[in-house]
Amino acid sequence: MSFADEKKSDVYGNEAVEASDDVSDIIEYSEAEQKKIVHRIDRRLVIITGVIYCISIIDRSNIGSAAVAGMPKDLGMNTQNNAYTPIVSIVTLMFFVSYIFFETPGVVGCRKFGPRIFLPVICLLWGACVTCMGLVKTWQQLLGMRLILGALEAGYFPGASYLLSTWYNRYELGRRFAAFYVIGSVANAFTVSLISHLRHKR
């Protein structure tokens, strides 16, 4: 055996030893422990992302309930005979214009900055935007805030979907997505009741 072959075998031998050492350092969990870990991730990840998605649905759909509660009159949307005007529909539509336009950039931003930074930042920003919507005096201001809200919320759904896909394998992901959708759909059941309660308080 030549010196080169001996050196080569020595290098490969060391690599094999190091690889075996790495394998021995891997912690193995029992099936019960694995299920416990997955359930803990479910409670912290699926529920929180689902609740935030529920809030985002309320934010985008509450404009119709506000219109019934007297928003057109307060913001000068009504005509002379106090009839329902297309301005309400235009304000509602503007959200989805910016939402569609910024959805792809939102995915890119989530991949670049990571869900740990990207998702909390856009949630804080759209919360501030919704707060400012309660302070508008004209329908033009409301239209602008709806455009900003659509741009901020556009990255949440694809970002949350990407985050879930990084924590679960393909066999576990389907049920987690289903739970995510179910929690989000609860918004439709509570939005009308919430707006009705606030209207009577007013």
Residue 70 token pair: 């007297």
**Average pLDDT over the chain, rounded to whole?**
78
Q: Which sign, positive or negative, has the C-alpha torsion 73, 100, 133, 183? A: positive
Residue 119 token pair: 């998702």
Contact 154, 106 (CB under 8 A): yes
What's the pTM value of the predicted model, to 2 decimals?
Answer: 0.74
| Residue 83 reports pLDDT greater than 60 | no
Predicted confidence (pLDDT) per residue in 141-197, tens digit? 888 999 999 999 999 999 998 999 888 888 888 888 888 888 877 766 776 676 666
Q: What torsion do the CA atoms of 122, 108, 51, 127 make, to the nearest 10 degrees?
A: 10
pLDDT of residue 199: 60
Mean pLDDT to the nearest integer, 18-28: 55
| Residue 36 reports pLDDT greater than 50 | yes
Mean pLDDT to the nearest integer, 22-36: 69
Walk me through the domains of the chain, giving residue ranges and CATH numbers.
33-201 (1.20.1250.20)
